[in-house]
Copies of this chain bind each other. A is one copy, B any other.
Amino acid sequence: MLDIHEECGVFGLWSPKTYDLARTVYYGLYSLQHRGQESCGIIVNDCGVFTGHKDLGEVGDVFKASVLDAIGQGQIAVGHVRYGTTGATDRKNAQPMVVNHVKGSMAVAHNGNLVNSYDLRTELELAGSIFHTTSDTEVIAYLITRHRLTTASIEEAVSETMKEIRGAYSLVIMSPAKLIAARDPFGFRPLCYGRQTDGTYVVASESCALDAVSAKFIRDVEPGEIVVFDRDGGRSIRTHCGEEARRICIFEYIYFARPDSVIDGVSVHASRVQAGRILAQDHPADGDVVVGVPDSGLDAALGFAEESGIPCAMGFVKNKYIGRTFIAPGQSQRENLVHIKLNVIAEAVRGKRVILIDDSVVRGTTSKKIVEKLRAAGALEVHLRLTAPPFIAPCYYGVDVPDAGSLIAAGHETEEICRYIGCDTVGFYDPAHLGALLLHGGQSLCTFCSACFGGPYPAGQPAHTGKYRFEQKLPD
């Protein structure tokens, strides 16, 4: 039960007809809500005139029927859900970003993180640019605008921009007449597209959003590829393809993505079931039942059960009403958060040796309480198996991993962790076996980024990670 956040989900539509497509984006964003709950936005393009709405909050809070109605009709649209890192919870950073430039309006929705945005921004500022936000997205918008002065099309300007920006980016860009999807040459973050029966093209971070709007999945946007949708249909620009080795974020499979999504040809669900199988091989345990921690541990529990022959059980109920409005208990209350969020089904674990499948251990405090609850409900033994290797390094490509100081795995041996959590044994997923999570037809389809688990940083690290000058206090 991780508390780690992806930064964004993107969505876009290009339709041959005019209708109230904000509602379609709305349903698409509902399906991507797990990728960001802090702010969201929808921008609709009616023959070049952009209208829309964005605000802090989840999709259901920000978009009431009256708001959707007010957005009106159009032919192209983009949407975005966002999780912002602490301190930047600001309405002005909500996306998609709309800017007006020499060629009319442009909307940009971005998932990922650049490693050279500080330098690019400084360069732009020194040339007289002004910035309204602190996001990488505004840097990207500026670069496209600059290149647009000298290129014949927006897609060329995007291609030129891709020569300058470095890092993780899955972009959906809307110009007065086009919808453009672009993915960085490493392909860190997912991006795919499909088509509805009436000819509307749909672009989304995950295939589950295509399903939600009844669009048939066509294919993933490839690393480095730019796909353009307009009156002439869809077409691909592959100039940047193959520039880099494919490096999909392995954590998309382990934790972020929805299990019903298929990313780069690999089912997220299948990948998690496979993680359970590998765990059963690498870290077997004598147990009576296999119990997954909802939601992300449930798929892996099936795999562990299958491989080990130990039956799967439903050991927990998760309170599905706890959302952003929930007030966490303070010190004066004896109950604690885990009690309210997650309850043990005593009947399922009483008198049993439990093999507990979870995704990861961050600080260790939640796992400790879950183990306590299992024992209190009568579990005889608890063997914790984790579908992720230990987190030991920061992510610079769009995931908000806590500081090493709060990562229990960064400073402790497995035995120490086991003792702290209070379980009988602990087994982490072996980093050497990560490739097995991406099997397709028996072989591992693609290479991946596992920098947070100690792997290399494919796109390098940022030269400057400091604050911008307007975020620093002057000497008084």
Contact = CB atoms under 8 A, between A and B. Distances in A.
Contacts of A313: 302
B211 A343 contact: yes
Given A30-B319, A314-B302, A102 B125 contact: yes
B335 A27 contact: yes
Contacts of A23: 327, 329-330, 332-333
Given A19-B332, A49-B472, A141-B130, A61 B325 contact: yes
A434 interface: no
A131 interface: yes
A60 B101 contact: no
A471 to B, nearest CB: 6
A351 interface: no
A346 B212 contact: no
A393 interface: no
Interface string A28-40: 0011011001000
A327 B472 CA distance: 31
B130 A145 contact: yes
B214 A339 contact: yes
Q: Which residue of A26, A27, A104 has the most chain B CB atoms within 10 A of its CB atom? A: A27
A261 B387 CA distance: 29
A196 interface: yes
Contacts of A347: 262, 267, 269-270
Contact of A476 (B47, B333, B469): B47
Contacts of A100: 125, 130-132, 134, 468, 470
9 contacts: A31-B343, A60-B321, A129-B145, A212-B343, A214-B336, A273-B314, A298-B314, A302-B312, A312-B312
Interface of A: 18-20, 23-24, 26-27, 30-31, 33-34, 37, 46-50, 58-61, 63-65, 68, 98-102, 104-106, 125-132, 134, 141-142, 145-146, 149, 176-177, 196-198, 208, 211-214, 258-260, 262, 267, 269-270, 273, 295, 298-299, 302, 306, 311-314, 316-317, 319-323, 325-327, 329-330, 332-336, 339-340, 343-348, 468-476
Q: Which 10 A-B pairs have the closest CB atoms?
A: A60-B325, A267-B347, A47-B473, A48-B474, A99-B130, A105-B470, A102-B125, A260-B317, A33-B321, A100-B131
